[in-house]
Structure 1
Amino acid sequence: MAKRNNEQISIADALKEFVETNKLETGLDKVNVADAWANLMGNGVNNYTTSVKLERNTLYVQLSSSVLREELSYGKEKIMTMLNEELGKDLIKKLILR
Structure 2
Amino acid sequence: MPKRHNEHISISDALKEFVETNKLETGLNKVNVADAWADLMGNGVNNYTTSVQLERDVLYVQLSSSVLREELSYGKEKIISMLNEALGKPLIKKIVLR
TM bucket normalised to smaller: over 0.9
- Runs (5+) with no aligned partner, structure 1: none
Query: What secondary structure, in the 3-state scheme, does the structure 1 residue paired with 2:29 have?
Result: helix
Aligned-residue offset at 1:43: 0.1
Q: What is the letter of the counterpart of residue 86 of structure 1?
A: A
Matched, 1:28 2:38: no
What is the CA deviation profile of residues 55-83 of structure 1, one whole-angstrom value per residue up to 9, with x for unaligned ones?
A: 00000000000000000000000000000
Q: Which residue of 1 aligns with 2:69?
A: 69
Aligned partner of 2:51 in structure 1 is 51
Unpaired runs of at least 5, structure 2: none
**How many angstroms does 1:9 deviate by?**
0.1
| Alpha-carbon distance in structure 2 between the residues aligned to 1:2 and 1:56 | 31
Amino acid at match of 2:72: L
Tell me the TM-score normalized by structure 1: 0.99
Q: CA RMSD in A?
A: 0.4
Residue 14 of structure 1: aligned partner? 14
Which residue identity does 2:15 align to in structure 1? L
Find the aligned partners of 2:91 and 2:31 in 1 and give their Cα distance: 13
Paired letter, 1:12: S
Normalising by structure 2, what TM-score? Answer: 0.99
CA–CA distance in 2 between the matches of 1:2 and 1:29?
A: 26
User: Partner of 2:54: helix, strand, or coil?
Assistant: strand
Q: Identity of aligned pairs, percent?
A: 85
